[in-house]
Structure 1
Amino acid sequence: MDTKTVTDHLYYPVSAQKMDRGEGVYLYDSGGNRYLDCASATFNLSLGYSHPAVIAAMKDQLDRVVHLTSSYQSDPINGLVQRLVETSPANLTRVHPKVSGGSSANEGAVKMAQHATGKTEVITLFRSHVGQTMMMASMSGNAFRREPFPLLYPGSMQVPDPYCFRCFYGQSKETCGLMCVDRIDDFIEYASSGRVAAVMIEPISGNGGNIVPPDGYMQKLRAFCDEQDIALIFDEIQTGIGRTGHMFAAQHFDVEPDAITTAKGLGGSGAQVAAILTNERLSGLPAHHHSFTYGSNLLAAAAANVTLDIVRQPEFLANVRHTGDYILERLRDMQLRYPAIGDVRGVGLMIGFEMCEPDGKPAVKLTNHLASAAMEHGLILRTSRYGYGNVLKIRPPLILTMTQAEEICDKLENLFMAELAR
């Protein structure tokens, strides 16, 4: 088959660009051009492309056994469970590794909350993206994600994000008193059945625009859930495994959820691995209610164990915070010089900046244009809300050096000079 025929047979559209290899934070196309990948592929390469320690661990496991039914113990799975308990908030003492990705991890956490509480409904946020299964698509925000499907999973409702830059309630964070938590009570009172099992949130929104909650939000939400007997689930598919400069964003925000889901960065250099971590309250869901053939995969667990050993080191996490702070500082300086940059926000190496029209409205067309033009400057950027949003995201591999952080910012300067200073 020629290239045209191959792409015609693909179910989904792809770029005309053909990528050849990756090394560290860089991706190379078939023409030899190099790109600094600020999307970490699909936000999952926490240790970058082809990390030698991850590759070596997978090769070693490949010579032993690739897959084993989860009915038996194995060193890779035992090691993964131990490491996740050691690096997560102290209240999370149970690990369910028999899930195949972020969507199935989130769905499992919901089932656990429903089983433990005897209640059914789930609250998520307006801009949330909690997965691609029908259940998770139903519970995600954004009408465009649900519009094509006539049969959606019932029993969820979305409430406003803690989005201070565009506050749903028209408040300022200095005076609002965290109304975005207080008003959840009204949603439960008037828009639910009154049987809410869980609140499931991304501590910092991934696809929804890199929204960082204001100080005190998480503590108030934790207290609210306790008062209402509602389980609090943190979807840390994107924020977990060092992305915020802490192993989990829960530790950055200093709050203990009832469950954390993890995937993406757990595989280090692309191994497909996920897990659900819970407290004792959410334990007890029978295994046959949530069990996937390719969960607890030994090859993936071997990669995850090496990844956790590397990322958990204090100096590694300190570097994530240091390089992230540098990029945020440079972006805020650019914001002063380029009025189209409306807001800059982030924690660690989970960073986003919002593009605005002169009247302050979201500049969606400009955002997509900049993401496309960035390739000409050797930079890979992703946008929010599958191209419907106006936030450009910077989430490079966590192995980023200060020199590479400077390179990102210099390339952004060149991009803005070429596209915004017209």
Structure 2
Amino acid sequence: MDTTNVRDLLYYPVSARKMVRGEGIFLYDEDGNEYLDCASATFNLSLGYSHPAVIAAMKEQLDVFAHLTSSVQSEPVNGLVRRLVEVSPGNLTKVHPKVSGGSTANEGVIKMAQQATGRSEVISLFRSHLGQTMMMTSMSGNAFRKEPFPSLFPRTLQVPDPYCFRCFYGQRPDTCGMMCVDRIEDFLEYASTGQVAAVIVEPISGNGGNIVPPDGYFPKLRAFCDEHDIVLIFDEIQTGIGRTGRMFAAQHFDVEPDAITTAKGLGGSGAQVAAILTNERLAGLPANHHSFTYGANLLAAAAANVTLDIVRQPEFLANVRATGNYILGRLADMRTRYPAIVDVRGVGLMIGFEIAHPDGKPAVKLTNHLAGAAGQHGLILRTSRYGYGNVLKIRPPLILTLDQAELLCDRLESLFRAELSA
């Protein structure tokens, strides 16, 4: 029997813990320990582990066939396209499902914007993630992600994000007049090539620290893009499919982008599925310019259809808002008792809280320590910016109940009491 440690064979590092089962919001290791998963695996299990309706739909589809060329119709993909149009903002009437993940969805929608405008440059935000392809790495708002690679996509420009707690411009949201939008005008004139096709933003930053823009930011950004004939793209890979208590964060912020990309939670219990939703202007990119073998996969589409049918129900979304508000309230109370917690922010079950030193500087080492210690208290926590950030993220499966939200907060309290008490 081969006794080689698989951890030595894997290209990337993994922990010593081996997980053997997942059920709902909980994960179990080989020693029988239970963990409440505040990361929904990779922020993609909107319906938790092994949701019975999702598993049943995939098994049923498997008995028919698992994959089909996208040049012909199929009921699972037809159903997915119809459902996505039904639940998206009203101006989005086209669906491109033949993408294999969030990164390729974002890359595809940028190609669409470039073709539609005849321009090439793309603006993204500080701290933005956007994906792992070379184009998306180039548009990341983090220098450490770009540093190893000599050949990056050249026409990208990052501008300050609407991070009110640590405002780039040293302003306050009640008096700044939304300077983080107004100053993009200067970037256009002095830092761009004059050929900006699109602005791509995460409505609430995923990896970047759960930054929630202030009221008025998106209407003003929408008006700015309209004035300059720039395509506005929402990367809703993390915020979409009910995460904010609305189907899409665009609906929470009451703005209509020109396109939305979706993935992660669309698969319900882990099916690999993604899509690009666009308005009529962005239609027409030939299939040979952006098409992937395992996009529009039938098993994934079957899972996505069930997921959308469950998540779109008003009572389901109301529960996301209720449980999210409960957690935000508990965290606000904990903040008064643990000085290291300096800010709490979120919408629905897209929540983050910031850890800092007494002088206010980001406490990155402590943040990573808390995430590492969380397992001893029955929690799985993830940090921002791949461990370079100081925000702990709470994004459990959307099936979380109020009783489970209470348990989650009780376990957080236990963690804080053990690690943050003087």
Counterpart residue number, 1:336: 336
Matched, 1:357 2:328: no
Amino acid of the structure 1 residue aligned with 2:234: F
Residue matched to 1:278: 278
**Structure 1 counterpart of 2:297, which letter?**
N
Q: What is the alpha-carbon distance in structure 1 between the residues aligned to residue 167 and residue 4 of structure 2?
A: 46
1:211 corresponding residue in structure 2: 211
For residue 124 of structure 2, give the secondary structure of its aligned residue in structure 1: strand
**2:400 aligned with 1:400:** yes
Provide the residue aligned with 2:101 in structure 1. Answer: 101
Residue 68 of structure 1 deviates from its aligned partner by 0.2
Distance in 2, Cα, partners of 1:14 & 1:374: 17
Residue in structure 2 matched with residue 130 of structure 1 by the alignment = 130
Amino acid at match of 2:57: A
Q: TM-score, normalised by structure 1?
A: 0.99
Output the amino acid matched with 1:400. Answer: L
Q: Runs in 1 of length 4+ with deviation above 6 angstroms?
A: none
What TM-score do you get using the length of structure 2 for normalisation?
A: 0.99
Tell me what 2:383 maps to.
383
By how many angstroms is 1:246 displaced?
A: 0.2
What is aligned with 2:90? 90
Q: Report the secondary structure of 1:122's partner residue.
A: strand
Q: Which residue in the other structure is 2:300 paired with? A: 300
SS at match of 1:393: strand
* Secondary structure at the counterpart of residue 71 of structure 2: coil
Distance (Å, rounded) in 1 between the aligned partners of 2:136 and 2:363 = 28
- Percent of aligned pairs with the same residue? 82
The 2-side partners of 1:208 and 1:357 are apart by 19
Mapped to 1, the partners of 2:156 and 2:150 lie a distance apart of 16
Tell me what 1:53 maps to. Answer: 53
Q: How far apart, CA to CA, are the structure 2 residues paired with 1:342 and 1:365?
A: 15
CA distance in 1, matches of 2:12, 2:338: 35
The RMSD of aligned alpha carbons is: 0.7
Aligned to 1:309: 309
Alignment correspondent of 2:13: 13
Distance 1:237 1:413 in 2: 30
Aligned counterparts of 1:394 and 1:27: Cα–Cα separation in 2: 15
2:237 pairs with 1:233 = no
- How many residues in Structure 1 have an aligned counterpart in Structure 2? 422
| Correspondence for 1:28 | 28
State the Cα deviation string for residues 167-207 of structure 1 (Å, max 9, x = none). Answer: 00000001000000000010010001111000000000000
Q: Distance in 1 between matches of 2:2 and 2:36?
A: 29
In structure 2, what is the Cα distance between the partners aligned to 1:291 and 1:153?
20
After superposition, the C-alpha distances for 1:63-91 in whole angstroms (9 at most, x for unaligned) are: 00100000000000000000000000000
State the partner residue of 1:198. Answer: 198
1:3 and 1:335, CA in 2 relative to 1: closer, same or farther beyond 3 A?
Answer: farther
Letter in 1 for 2:20: D
Give the gaps of 5 or more residues in structure 2: none
Name 1:259's counterpart in structure 2.
259
* 3-state SS, counterpart of residue 150 of structure 1: coil
What is aligned with 2:121?
121
Q: Is 1:243 the equivalent of 2:263? A: no
Q: Which deviations, in whole Å up to 9, do the C-alpha atoms of 1:195-247 show, x marking residues without a partner?
A: 10000000000000000000000000000000000000000000000000000
Question: How far does residue 6 in structure 1 lie from its aligned partner after superposition?
Answer: 1.4
Distance of 2:130 and 2:407 partners within structure 1: 32
Instruction: Give the CA deviation at 1:7.
Output: 1.2
Gaps of 5+ in 1: none
Deviation at 1:5, TM superposition (A): 2.5
Aligned counterparts, 1:308-327, within 5 A:
308-327=308-327
How far apart in 2 are the matches of 1:239 and 1:340? 27
Which amino acid is the alignment partner of residue 55 of structure 1?
I
1:2 shift after superposition: 5.3
Confirm or deny that 1:289 pairs with 2:283: no
Distance 1:295 1:43 in 2: 20
**2:221 alignment partner in structure 1:** 221
Q: Structure 2: how far apart are the matches of 1:125 and 1:304? A: 29
What is the one-letter code of the residue matched to 1:340? A
Q: Distance in 1 between matches of 2:172 and 2:289?
A: 44
Secondary structure class of the residue paired with 1:79: helix
Q: Which residue of 2 aligns with 1:111?
A: 111
Q: Give the 5 Å matches for 1:167-182.
A: 167-182=167-182
Question: Match for 2:345: what amino acid?
Answer: R
Alpha-carbon separation, structure 2, partners of 1:5 and 1:167: 47
